[in-house]
Chain A
Amino acid sequence: MIDAVYRPNGDAGSFLNAQFTRPPRAVRGSNSRAFEDPMTLEQTFPGLRDAPGGAIISLLDNVFDITGPATELMAAMTQERSALLVSQIMALDPNWKFQSLSFPTTWEGQKNQLNDLRLQRAATYVRVKGELGPMQVETMRMIQDMADRAYARAVRLDEIGKLRGRLSREEAIGTYVDNAVRTDLRMVYRRYAVKGIGSDIRVNRREYDTSNAERTYRRPDARVGNIAYDVTLSRKTMKNPQIRGFFNADFRPDHVIIIRPRQLGPGSSYIITRSEMVK
Chain B
Amino acid sequence: MTGDIASPYYNSEPYIPETLSELMDFVVPMMGNAPHFKDESGYLPDRSIDTEFYGLVEGFGKVRDKIGEDQYAAAIDIAARMKALFLEAADEDDPKTMQGILLIHDLIDIIDAARARRVASKLTDEEGRVTGD
Contact = CB atoms under 8 A, between A and B. Distances in A.
Given A99-B2, A187-B47, A149 B7 contact: no
Contacts, number: 120
Contacts of B1: 100, 104, 109, 112-113, 116
B3 A191 contact: yes
Q: Is the interface of B mostly helix, strand, loop or mixed?
A: loop
A193 interface: yes
Contacts of A120: 2, 9
B15 A186 contact: yes
B28 A204 contact: no
Given A112-B42, A116-B1, A99 B7 contact: yes
Contacts of B22: 182-183, 186
B120 interface: no
Interface in A131-171: 142, 145-146, 149-150, 153-154, 156-157, 160, 162-164
B25 interface: yes
A150 B15 CA distance: 19
B25 A156 contact: no
Contacts of B76: none
What size tier do the contact residues of chain B reach?
Answer: 35 or more
A115 B42 CA distance: 7
Contacts of A109: 1
B105 interface: yes
Interface in A181-202: 182-184, 186-188, 190-193
Contacts of B21: 204
A188 B44 contact: yes
A243 interface: no
Which of the listed residues A101, A112, A183, A192 has the most CB atoms from chain B within 10 Å of its own CB? A183
Given A142-B43, A187-B15, 4 more contacts: A112-B43, A113-B1, A120-B9, A184-B29
Interface of B: 1-5, 7-13, 15, 17, 21-22, 24-29, 31-33, 40-47, 98, 101-102, 105, 108, 127
Interface of A: 96-101, 104, 108-109, 111-113, 115-117, 119-120, 123-124, 142, 145-146, 149-150, 153-154, 156-157, 160, 162-164, 175-176, 178-180, 182-184, 186-188, 190-193, 204, 206
14 contacts: A96-B9, A98-B2, A99-B7, A100-B2, A112-B42, A112-B45, A117-B2, A120-B2, A120-B9, A142-B43, A179-B24, A186-B15, A187-B15, A204-B25
